[in-house]
Amino acid sequence: MKEKIIGIDLGTTNSCVAVLEGGTPEIITNAEGERITPSVVGFTADGERLIGRLAKRQAITNPTNTVSSIKREMGTDHRTKISTDGKTTEYSPEEISAMILQKLKRDAEAHLGGTVTKAVITVPAYFNDSQRQATKDAGRIAGLEVARIINEPTAAALAYGLEKQHDQTILVFDLGGGTFDVSVLDIGDGVFDVLSTDGDTRLGGDDFDQRIVDWLVEEFRKDTGVDLTADPSAMQRLKDAAEAAKKELSSRMETTINLPYITADASGPKHLEKKLSRAKFEGMIDDLLQRTIQTVDGALREAKKTADGIDQVVLVGGSTRIPKVQELIASRIPGKINREINPDEVVAGGAAIQGGVLAGEVDEIVLLDVTPLTLSIETLGEVATPLIERNTTIPTEKTKTFTTAQDNQPAVQIHVVQGERKMASDNKSLGTFQLDGIPPAPRGIPQIDVTFNIDADGILHVTAQDKATSKSASITITESSRLDDDEIEKMRKDAEEHAEEDKQKYEQTEVRNQADQLIYAVEKAMSDLGEKVDAAKRSEVEDQIRRLKEKLEQGAGLEDLRQAVEELTKASQEIAQQAYQQTQADAGAATSSTGASTEAEPGTQDDDGGEYIDAEYDEPQD
Amino acid sequence: MSNPKKRKRDETEIPVEQVEAPVAEDQENANGELSIYIDRLQRLQAEFENYKKRTAREYSAVEERVEDRTILGFLGLYDNLERAFSSHAEDKDTESFVAGLEQIFGQFSQLLEQYGVERIPGVGEAFDPAVHEALLSVASDQQKNSILEEFLPGYRRGNRVLRASKVSVSRGPTPTEEADE
């Protein structure tokens, strides 16, 4: 087992550590159960060192011996004076950073169950040589050999695998808790070239929270005349509520900030209840957001690029979740935003990938592809029955057993389709072949294994084999993964847009198939039972079968069909019961009739998880 | 690879063609085997990837079910609060309303207890950043670092902190800010 090289995003406000596991980066949860660790170090009176969340909690009681945002001092000769037990010790920024790194190292070791000695650490693109050297030294002090220092925007690009694509120019927009950076990078041949970098070291999510707090304080003063700023506990509640409201407004258009008993005066307790709309919030932070966009323009100018010259935009930092932020970027650089990866974790993830590369973990073999779209075969009623779901990592193999839809069906037609739509005809057809020579048998009896095998090159081999005769037929489809990105995106969107309509169509087909199967089963049961069913019952059931058949032919509605199916099911149960009583009365042929009665049950339906799905049957052409 | 071959030839003087034929064959076999192993490795790797994806899906499904179960426990309380308000709308008797709320609060406490939720001790305790979050540092005649006031109680479940309590902490009898030192 090769030694793992961890990836560390050593941030100004928060840090994050990740490691490559099975080719993909995994974020390591810290001892407190969180995925990010505040970059804060505290020294308690009794000489104990606290890192992360705990250090942050005690910061107020221990302001002189708590250090935060040390990253701003990296590469300078700044010294942090810490006095505990009457002794004063001076620490360099490297030493403080090393304490954070040490905690991340410990957490990683706990996760991996072994020692970690190597790391890739990220720094802002604008860090100069001495700042980079300081970061490297911090690693060494923490007992980590720094395998490489990489730029944060480069790490973000790595996390998205952009270096594997063609040569391109990307813009990384990093809006964190307290800092803001924009970088423009050229990527080509695995080389990352920073064309420009710009930013604001004092702008981030905390400023947005503060705007909401200010608004709440002002509103509350208007409503009640009470100034909440004088009450630290109320202010803390406001701060927490503001942050929660901000987050909620990323997914909702309006939120209610509800803080009962926020304070009290002579007239009694006071409650705060305010509705905040997304638009209102966007108005509050508009000037801040405009500043970020000006920075984007500045970075583009410096890189001598226009918006058209940018191939991809990568979002980093929790505040990029704000829809208005994305909207503003999209208004400058339309249609290029990548945002699938958690923006808090994307830098650490990219660092972990770099670590994997340096550890020799990432080479040709582990760079595996995924199937961009679901691969299915067409089954009874034109339903697309998936064998390999989209996003499955290849190479892979899946087998499902299908059966025939008609008695004595001599052949099955295998139609392979690709796409997310529920009906086969709405998907892309990849190929068709036929397996014939199926020995005569009632429908539902033959077992035909259909196997989809995609090799590492994305070539799909589909094989159908009759279990009884071992006879098989197959097809090889080479273009299954050769769709371009636009085509894939179009097909996905298509499926989303038609989801409701497809669901209805699918349900309709399902009930039709159910009806069809039921008719078959009941007819079979009646012929098996013969005179055990009395004439009146027989004609009643036959009547119902006829009506259901008529409905199927007329293409009756879903509810109508469901009802008819239900009626026939009930009737079929009655004949089964009658036959059973008859048999008991006859006290002889018990075995054959129980067999028949189970078959008359429509319980052979198998919509989810069932192995037997009627294979689409076309009359053989030859 | 070439070394043993050479030595062999030196020692036994076998003509070149005779040696090379089997070597080429070996090479071919080795290549064949290699591609089988690469394929196996790739498949194992892909299987692991797919296993991870499936586990992630199952994990979020489990999370949802756990949430469902938890929410179900709280619905009873919600019902009772609704009853309290609708009965208060008809009968404005504050005393019976408060008595009702007290009972619901009791139910609530019981539910939390069922889940093993415990309140973290606050006022008078020594400040511990593992379970307390300091909002204020106040000069007082109380012992330095003891908790003076609890603004928001904290809760734990087993040894996990659900929420640290938000407190004010005594700075001791120093009248000035420590920062002045």
The predicted-structure confidence for A315-374, as pLDDT tens digits, reads as follows 999 999 999 999 999 999 988 898 889 999 999 999 999 999 898 876 544 456 778 788
Nearest by CB to A368, from B46, B134, B152: name it.
Answer: B46
CA atoms within a 13 Å half-sphere pointing along the CA-CB vector of A284? 20
Nearest to A438 by CA among A399, A463, A404, A405: A404
Q: Is A207 a catalytic residue?
A: no
Size of interface A-B (CB pairs under 8 A): 87
pLDDT for position A532: 74
Q: What residues of A are in contact with residue B164 (Cβ under 8 Å)?
A: 57
Q: How far apart are CA A245 and CA A249, in angstroms?
A: 6
Q: Where are the alpha helices (DSSP H) in chain B?
A: 2-12, 16-90, 94-114
Pick A291 or A556 by higher pLDDT. A291
Nearest by CB to B179, from A50, A64, A368: name it.
Answer: A64
DSSP per position, A421-472: -SBGGGSEEEEEEEEE-PPP--TT---EEEEEEE-TT--EEEEEEETTT--E
Q: Nearest residue of B to residue A31 by CA position? A: B160
**Amino acid letter at A364?**
E
Nearest to A72 by CA among A229, A202, A267, A215: A202
SS3 A129: helix
Over its C-alpha atoms, chain B yields an Rg (Å, rounded) of: 37
Q: Which percentage of chain A shows pLDDT scores above 90?
A: 50
Q: Is residue A58 within 8 Å of A66, Cβ to Cβ?
A: yes
Interface test with A, best of B36, B44, B45 (most A CBs within 10 A): B45
Pick A112 or A577 by higher pLDDT. A112
pLDDT for position A556: 77
Model pLDDT for residues A92-144, shown as the tens digit of each residue: 999 999 999 999 999 999 999 999 999 999 999 888 989 999 999 999 999 99
Average pLDDT, chain A: 86
Q: How far apart are CA A112 and CA A472, in angstroms?
A: 47
Q: What residues of B are in contact with residue A42 (Cβ under 8 Å)?
A: 129
Q: How far apart are CA A587 and CA A70, in angstroms?
A: 91
Nearest by CB to B42, from A55, A59, A456: name it.
Answer: A456
Q: What residues of A are in contact with residue B180 (Cβ under 8 Å)?
A: none
Question: Are B49 and A397 in contact (CB < 8 Å)?
Answer: no
Q: Nearest residue of B to residue A54 by CA position? A: B129
Question: Are B39 and A456 in contact (CB < 8 Å)?
Answer: yes
Predicted confidence band at A480 (pLDDT cuts at 50, 70, 90)? low
Question: Residue A539: in which H helix or E strand, if any?
Answer: helix A535-554
Q: In A163-267, which ranges are E strands?
A: 168-175, 180-188, 191-200, 254-265
Question: Residue A330: in which H helix or E strand, if any?
Answer: helix A323-332
Q: How far apart are CA A324 and CA B111, in angstroms?
A: 41
Nearest to B149 by CA among B163, B135, B160: B135
Q: How far apart are CA A385 and CA A375, in angstroms?
A: 8
Q: Which residues of chain B have pLDDT under 50?
A: 1-11, 177-181
Nearest by CB to B129, from A33, A45, A58: name it.
Answer: A58
Predicted confidence band at A176 (pLDDT cuts at 50, 70, 90)? confident
Predicted confidence band at A84 (pLDDT cuts at 50, 70, 90)? confident
pLDDT for position A481: 52
Task: Tell me the shortest Cα–Cα distance from B132 to chain A, in angstroms.
Answer: 7
Q: What residues of A are in contact with residue B53 (Cβ under 8 Å)?
A: 391-393
Q: Nearest residue of A to residue B151 by CA position? A: A233
Nearest by CB to B132, from A57, A365, A368: name it.
Answer: A57
**Amino acid letter at A597?**
S
Question: Are A365 and B181 in contact (CB < 8 Å)?
Answer: no
pLDDT for position A608: 40
Which residue in A4, A9, A198, A614 is the catalytic one? A9
pTM: 0.71
Backbone angles phi, psi at A474, to 5 degrees: -150, 170
Task: Tell me the shortest Cα–Cα distance from B77 to chain A, in angstroms.
Answer: 19
The least confident of A233-242, A282-291, B116-125, B167-176 is B167-176
Give residue ranges of B with CB < 8 Å to any A CB. Answer: 38-39, 41-43, 45-50, 52-53, 127, 129-130, 132-137, 145, 151-152, 160, 164, 166, 168-169, 171, 178-179, 181
Interface test with B, best of A53, A56, A57 (most B CBs within 10 A): A57
Look up the ipTM and state it. 0.72
Q: Is residue A318 within 8 Å of A176, Cβ to Cβ?
A: yes
Question: Are A57 and B145 in contact (CB < 8 Å)?
Answer: no
Which string of b and e fits A437-458 if b means at least 16 CB within 10 Å? ebeeeebbebbbebbbbbbbeb
Q: Is A9 a catalytic residue?
A: yes
Q: What residues of A are in contact with residue B52 (Cβ under 8 Å)?
A: 22, 24
Q: Is residue A337 within 8 Å of A194, Cβ to Cβ?
A: no
Give residue ranges of A with CB < 8 Å to any B CB. Answer: 22-24, 33, 42, 45, 50, 54-55, 57-61, 63-64, 83, 232-233, 236-237, 365-366, 368, 391-397, 455-456
pLDDT for position A279: 96
Q: Is residue A49 within 8 Å of A82, Cβ to Cβ?
A: no
Query: What six digits make up the tokens of A602?
Result: 């429509």
pLDDT for position A622: 41
Q: Nearest residue of A to residue B166 by CA position? A: A233
pLDDT for position A576: 75
Backbone angles phi, psi at A197, to 5 degrees: -150, 140
Question: Are B46 and A396 in contact (CB < 8 Å)?
Answer: yes
Nearest by CB to B38, from A58, A365, A396: name it.
Answer: A365
Which residue in A56, A71, A270, A422 is the catalytic one? A71
Pick A556 or B104 by higher pLDDT. B104
Interface test with B, best of A85, A240, A393 (most B CBs within 10 A): A393
Question: Are A83 and B178 in contact (CB < 8 Å)?
Answer: no
Q: What residues of A are in contact with residue B49 (Cβ under 8 Å)?
A: 22-24, 368, 393
pLDDT for position A257: 94
SS3 A42: strand
Q: What residues of B are in contact with residue A24 (Cβ under 8 Å)?
A: 49, 52
CA atoms within a 13 Å half-sphere pointing along the CA-CB vector of B142? 18
Q: Is residue A79 within 8 Å of A90, Cβ to Cβ?
A: yes
pLDDT for position A596: 34
Task: Tell me the shortest Cα–Cα distance from B42 to chain A, in angstroms.
Answer: 6
Task: Tell me the shortest Cα–Cα distance from A60 to chain B, in angstroms.
Answer: 6
Q: Cβ atoms within 10 A of the Cβ of A31, count?
A: 15
Interface test with A, best of B39, B133, B148, B162 (most A CBs within 10 A): B133
Nearest by CB to A396, from B50, B130, B179: name it.
Answer: B50
Q: How far apart are CA B129 and CA B154, in angstroms?
A: 12
Which residue in A94, A107, A152, A502 is the catalytic one? A152
Q: What residues of A are in contact with residue B178 (Cβ under 8 Å)?
A: 63-64
Question: Residue A276: in which H helix or E strand, if any?
Answer: strand A268-277
Q: Nearest residue of B to residue A454 by CA position? A: B43
Q: How far apart are CA B27 and CA B11, in angstroms?
A: 22
Which residue in A73, A95, A137, A174 is the catalytic one? A174
Q: What residues of B are in contact with residue A82 (Cβ under 8 Å)?
A: none
